[in-house]
Amino acid sequence: MLKSNQTGVHMGYRFRKSINLGGGFKINLSKSGIGYSWGIPGMRYSKLANGRERHTYSIPGTGISYVEDVSSGKKQQRQTYESSSSVGIVEEKVSSTDFEENSDYDEFINRINKFRNMDTGIKITIILLSIISLFVLSNPIVIIIGISIFCIYLIYRNCKMLISVEYDFDVENEKFYELINNFFSTLASSSKLWIIESRYKNFDAKRNAGVDSCVERMQISIIQKIPYYLKTNVKCYCLSIKDKEFYFLPNKILVHDKNKTIGLNFQELSFEFNETTFVEQQEAPSDSEVIEYTYQYVNKKGGPDRRYKYNPQFPRCLYGTVDIKNDDGLNLSILVSSKSKAIQARQIYETLRSMNVNRTRKCINCSKEISTDANFCKYCGTKQ
């Protein structure tokens, strides 16, 4: 590589060659490796040499295009400060959004999944017919017509086809649901939220800010959002984690992924609250409580190791934690940047637990607790 006399400016050689194999398929050769792409006018899928995927959508002849880069399983952050010998094997798999489906046989959930399957089928049909028409007619205007039909369907669906759910509360149930919304709005008001996925043993604490373990975490969000397939008279909060969304409705928690929706009851979840210290590699969130500052390389007494010329300081923050679990394998460990918000959420949850709102009843056959709105027992299958 050549370096110019001007500081910070680098020059180098590049190599790139594209081989067209016909049928819209190309192989791309470069210094970083081999990639390939395939597509038709208006749409192209590319696999880059670095393993990333790229989707390109365009309207031929107009110069209008949209490019979407898709990373392959990219993780948000691994804390902290890894060196070649500092981090070992996974000590603990902390969180899991995969759990055994053990929900009631619920007509409400069945309606939702039927709607989702129908909606997906219609959208796929429109896309396939647009692609086939493009091949047959060889006219780019077909893509514009297809996009127009797709948009018209979405408008019609949202106006006429959504599942309508109207809730009529008594005073006690209205207060209960208001507290649930306050609980999640309090967590959502924190500057940052993360899901802790895994914890790693730190074998070389002195080179990694003196910490005993590292965690793999991913930033998540809690927003006020209604599922796209529902039309309702209440507001609800949505907890988004990876490919799953948890919608907290008055009578049900809807767990939504790309394939289907299942239902949980709020009483099936257990919440645990705690606090933890966390060494941040970057700037501390605005609402976090910074206890002290430490160094990447520390000596036996915890001070800076003078053998290292570059030894940055990092803030040691006091965070809140919220663990959400159920008996079927759901396990979410959420890191809250504001300890005070986590404390407020705990106080709201304690009030929720103290309220005597009966949302379960006993099965007429096996006497196990099931949801009051269940038509069938999830344990024995008996119709109620």
Q: Are residues 220 and 355 in the same domain?
A: yes
Q: Are residues 161 and 180 in the same domain?
A: no
| Domain presence at residue 381 | no
Q: Are residues 135 and 176 in the same domain?
A: no
Nearest to 348 by CA among 185, 191, 210: 185
Q: Are residues 242 and 352 in the same domain?
A: yes
| Domain presence at residue 379 | no
| Long-range pairs for 239-242: beta carbons < 8 A, 24 or more residues apart | 239/184, 241/97, 241/195, 241/332, 242/97, 242/195, 242/218
Give me the pLDDT at residue 189, please.
95
**Residue 105 token pair:** 């046989």
Residue with tokens 């893509």: 143
The domain boundary residue, chosen from 121, 148, 165? 165
Q: Are residues 327 and 211 in the same domain?
A: yes
Strand pairing report for 237-241 and 360-362: unpaired
pLDDT per position as a tens digit, 47-59: 766 666 777 767 6
The domain boundary residue, chosen from 165, 191, 209? 165
| Domain presence at residue 272 | yes
CA–CA distance, 33 with 10 (Å, rounded to integer): 22
Q: Are residues 189 and 337 in the same domain?
A: yes
Give me the pLDDT at residue 236, please.
93
| Residue 371 contacts residue 107 (beta carbons within 8 Å) | no
Q: Are residues 214 and 337 in the same domain?
A: yes
Give me the pLDDT at residue 239, please.
95
Q: Are residues 351 and 222 in the same domain?
A: yes
Q: Are residues 212 and 238 in the same domain?
A: yes
pTM: 0.67
| Domain presence at residue 226 | yes
Helices marked H in 138-267? 141-156, 171-188
Q: Can you spell out the DSSP letters for 258-326?
A: SS-EEEE-GGG-EEEEEEEEEE-SSPPPTT-EEEEEEESSB-TTSSB-TT-S---EEEEEEEEEEEEE-
| Domain presence at residue 197 | yes
| Domain presence at residue 200 | yes
pLDDT per position as a tens digit, 184-211: 999 999 999 999 988 777 666 666 666 7
At residue 238, the 3 state secondary structure works out as: strand
Instruction: Print the domain residue range for 32.
Output: 2-70
| Domain presence at residue 377 | no
Give me the pLDDT at residue 8, please.
37
| Residue 97 contacts residue 297 (beta carbons within 8 Å) | no
Q: Are residues 23 and 82 in the same domain?
A: no
Low-confidence residues of the chain: pLDDT under 50: 1-16, 71-89
Q: Are residues 203 and 112 in the same domain?
A: no
Q: Are residues 271 and 335 in the same domain?
A: yes
- What is the domain count for the chain? 3
Strand pairing report for 230-232 and 163-165: parallel
At residue 179, the 3 state secondary structure works out as: helix
The domain boundary residue, chosen from 165, 191, 206? 165
| Domain presence at residue 86 | yes
